[in-house]
Amino acid sequence: MSHDERTFVMVKPDGVQRGLIGEIIGRLEERGLKLAGAKFMQIDEELAHEHYGEHEDKPFFDGLVEFITAGPVMAMVWEGADATRQVRQMMGTTDPAEAQPGTIRGDLGLDLGQNVIHGSDHEDPGANEREIDLFFDEDELVDWEKSDAEWVYEDV
């Protein structure tokens, strides 16, 4: 996959309240991913319903909307080789109690409802663009080249 695949990542309200934005950004940068856009924001109910629309018929939907709108989030777009898969691996499983040590959720998540981070689904090819388009206008994303790209990617 080309080194410029984009993926959507969000530090959820629990991660923001616990001061974990810097820790999470640091982990993504250390992995060689490149930040293309970031927005510290408060999600309203309408955006929450759009973002989590695929869960609308599930019993946990109302709680999910209530949680994601309870405080600010850090919405981000990251780029890198196979970025979506890399981020999903780094995040760990949805339930922090089952996530491996060394993953973001394994190290920082508290419980299933407060698992610190959201990332686009790597098994849904349209998830990245749909989520990026929901949270960012194209002019809010920066196309730039990291000076260490030749040390991170084989095909530069």
Rounded to whole angstroms, the Cα distance separating 26 from 74 reads 14
The residue with tokens 């849904």 is: 124
User: Residues marked as binding for ATP?
Assistant: 12, 60, 88, 94, 105, 115
- Which residue out of 3, 51, 55, 118 is catalytically annotated? 118
User: Residues marked as binding?
Assistant: 12, 60, 88, 94, 105, 115
What residues contact 82, with CB distance under 8 A and at least 6 apart?
1, 5
Q: CA angle at residue 92 from 88 to 95, to 5 degrees?
A: 125
CA torsion 115→120→121→122, rounded to 10°? -120
Measuring CA to CA, which residue among 123, 120, 57 is closest to residue 90? Answer: 120
Catalytic site residue 118?
yes
Give me the residues paired with residue 74 across strands. 11, 40
Residues with catalytic roles = 118
